[in-house]
Structure 1
Amino acid sequence: MTITNKRAAVAVAAALSLLVSACGKEDDTTATPATDTTTTTQVSSTGTTTPGQETTTEESGSAEPTTTMVAAGYPVTVKNCGVTVEVKEKPTHVVTLNQGATELVLALGAADQMAGTAYLDDEIDPSVKDAYDTIPVLSDKYPSQEKFLSVKPDLALASYNSAFGEKGVGSREELAALGINTYVDGFACQDKSQRATVSWDSIYGEVSQVGRLLGRDDQAATIVARGTNTLAEIEQARPAEGKTIFWYDSGGREESKAPFVGGNAGGPALIMEAVGATNIFSGIDGGWGDGSWETVLQANPDYIVLADASWDTAEEKKEFLTSNALTKDLDAVQNGRFIVVPFAESTPGVHLVDGAAKVADGVKK
């Protein structure tokens, strides 16, 4: 098998025109990329390993996976957040435990491989809504372990490590003992030293990795190419050049409480960088963090991005900003320069580029 550099694969695909609630506050950007390697063994149609088809890829959690398979084969073995995941055959009972994972699997066209889903942060993306409606919803949040096991999962995919924590469906070790493979987004490893640095390359590396596990390499390549093309258009235009943005994620409406804001790494930072804007909270390390209203007032931002989540809607934040004595006179508030971005489009994943497109469109108005 010929192994091609992922960047090259993306470029070729693009030339032919052809891809995280309270849980979302898990810091996904402060760690050093992991350097462990993994082995993916492709098996021929006869069920035997073909000589020369064993390849090495970087662990999920590395900033820029450097290789990709031309075609999927089983078994597929990857090392994810320090856990060896060996998928011996094409999964047929996949359960997704967070919206990001759900929308990725559906975008890959793998609805027919799913046995259940759970935990939405906002409205499901319209592009996959019809497929989503065919999947059993096990719970509004994380399902009980009993409910989870009732659908006989062979692979559980999560955007956040909390899915396998105390309030989740069971630890990864426990589920492995039951013969259930698990996979966590490389930006959310429990061990922060194993977390990927968030970048567009690492995001699309995750898309390719999950596509490989599901036997959907071609679909993953299409997603990557489409996203790369959209991003290139936004970066070339830089519609927010010279403008400032306050990325208002949640909270901060109670006395003495700080707003939770987009920091200098992670999804919001990638979006603001792509459109050419200056983040008024660029001094906050990480994807998100506690800001201050004093900084907002001093910066008097040109635009305010409102993350829209089921647990803290954009409308609630807008109502606060327009009625609060401290914020109602901000230029952005007075002139209605609000940009609404679904929470799922602000986290590192398949729809982050859609969030970038919304911000790019918003600053043009």
Structure 2
Amino acid sequence: MRTAVVTAALLLVSGCGATVAHETSKPDPVTVTNCGRQVTFDRIPSKVVTNDTGITELMFALGLKDRMAGYVVDGNNTVDLQTSPWKADFDSTPKLAEKISKEVVQGAGADLVFAGWNYGFSESTGFTPDAVNQLGIGTYQLTEACRNGNGKQRGIMPALDALYTDLRNLGKIFRVEAKAEELIKGYQQQIENAGKLMAGRPRPKVFLYDSGQDQPFTSGRNAAPQDVIAKAGGDNVFGDLDDSWTTVNWETVVQRDPDVVLIVDYADGKANTPAQKQAFLEGFAPLANSPAIRNKRFFALPYAALVESPRNPASIEAFARYLASA
């Protein structure tokens, strides 16, 4: 049994750091379906502002660094930048701010903002797609975070489908369809190969622990961890929740009796490191009898590996290898 948190440096993603030759621009406008709405682009965006690590890495994976005005990443996401397969692209692209705002995107001269609900877009800050559009700036929303019509719940399709949808949409918008399909084909093969590692073995129950001590923040079936866990050979204990990232209660975690805890590696303001999060869980009396705690089965992945991003396939492989090693 593993007795310590393992943090995987996900450096297995194909296409990392590459810049591809852009396909010939088409004179006609391009229309894509984004979060249930038809969005038309009259020209290829050339000053894109992205918010969050995974979203930025989608642009880098497609070779679109030169189409960016810059990115916005929270200061807590230093682990993401250190472990990114596109670290060189991050280093050579302007970091505009740690919090996105109208002033930031206007100051960058943005012609497109690529963000998502709770990945930059928020009613509480007034930074919404409609508000950005009123500035004369286009928007594209991360599909993982699309609202599904039930209050503020998010998620309209399985997480990997959301990843492939965004890659194909961005491929059309930026006229790099061939690169998008190349990436998708490679990811699908990598995931298929990873699935063989746990074939025929019992599927462990996995609790995704993001943060929170009074109440845990975790993943329902519409966020990336659902597919990361499932394709690696496990079952998300909160896979029945029709939401993406969401808060639950500890009583339910205890009842669902997880075999493994998958920890999100990023600073959350209290217990910053995976080791600190593990120590909290090991010292949390109601969980003391769960198999995950008794057997010290903890695994950590960077935040950007567990939100929709081109790191998802490598994170599936890394987690599958951990599960198969026990």
**1-structure distance, mates of 2:143, 2:257:** 35
**2-structure distance, mates of 1:281, 1:165:** 25
Give the drift of 1:108: 0.9
Partner of 1:141: 99
Once the two structures are superposed, what CA deviation does each residue of 1:39-72 show, in whole Å capped at 9, x if it has no partner? xxxxxxxxxxxxxxxxxxxxxxxxxxxxxxx986
Q: Which moved more, 1:191-200 or 1:227-236?
A: 191-200
Q: Which amino acid in structure 2 is aligned with residue 354 of structure 1?
A: A
Give the drift of 1:187: 3.2
Residues 236 and 156 of structure 1, relative CA distance in 2, 3 Å threshold: same
Contact 1:155 1:182 in 2 (8 A): yes
Superposition CA RMSD, Å: 3.0
Q: Residue 316 of structure 1 is aligned with which of 276, 281, 286?
A: 276
Q: Which moved more, 1:305-314 or 1:159-168?
A: 159-168
* Seq. identity, %: 26
Once the two structures are superposed, what CA deviation does each residue of 1:10-31 show, in whole Å capped at 9, x if it has no partner? xxxxxxx999xxxxxxxxxxxx
Runs of 5+ unmatched residues, structure 2: 1-13, 17-22
Partner of 1:73: 26
**2-structure distance, mates of 1:83, 1:280:** 32
Partner of 1:340: 300
Give the drift of 1:115: 0.6
Q: Which moved more, 1:76-85 or 1:112-121?
A: 76-85
Residues 239 and 297 of structure 1, relative CA distance in 2, 3 Å threshold: farther
Partner of 1:126: 84
Query: Structure 2 matches for 1:125-274, cutoff 5 A?
Result: 125-142=83-100, 144-160=101-117, 163-166=120-123, 170-190=127-147, 192=149, 196-238=156-198, 241-253=201-213, 257-274=214-231
Q: Which amino acid in structure 1 is aligned with residue 260 of structure 2?
A: Y
**1:246 aligned counterpart, secondary structure:** strand
1:358 aligns with 2:318: yes
Give the drift of 1:73: 2.5
Query: Structure 2 matches for 1:7-26, cutoff 5 A?
Result: none
Residues 333 and 239 of structure 1, relative CA distance in 2, 3 Å threshold: farther
Residues 329 and 81 of structure 1, relative CA distance in 2, 3 Å threshold: closer
Give the drift of 1:153: 0.7
Partner of 1:41: none
Give the drift of 1:298: 4.7
Once the two structures are superposed, what CA deviation does each residue of 1:211-242 show, in whole Å capped at 9, x if it has no partner? 22122222212211111011111223335831
**1-structure distance, mates of 2:179, 2:41:** 19
Residues 335 and 72 of structure 1, relative CA distance in 2, 3 Å threshold: farther
Contact 1:93 1:155 in 2 (8 A): yes
**1-structure distance, mates of 2:127, 2:219:** 31
Q: Which amino acid in structure 1 is aligned with residue 115 of structure 2?
A: A
**2-structure distance, mates of 1:343, 1:240:** 29
Give the drift of 1:314: 2.3
**1-structure distance, mates of 2:122, 2:253:** 35
TM-score normalized by the length of structure 1: 0.70
Give the drift of 1:156: 1.0
Q: Which amino acid in structure 1 is aligned with residue 45 of structure 2?
A: P
Residues 304 and 89 of structure 1, relative CA distance in 2, 3 Å threshold: same
The structure whose Rg is larger is: 1
Q: Which amino acid in structure 2 is aligned with residue 186 of structure 1?
A: T
Q: Which amino acid in structure 2 is aligned with residue 137 of structure 1?
A: K
Runs of 5+ unmatched residues, structure 1: 1-16, 20-69
**1:306 aligned counterpart, secondary structure:** strand
Give the drift of 1:76: 1.6
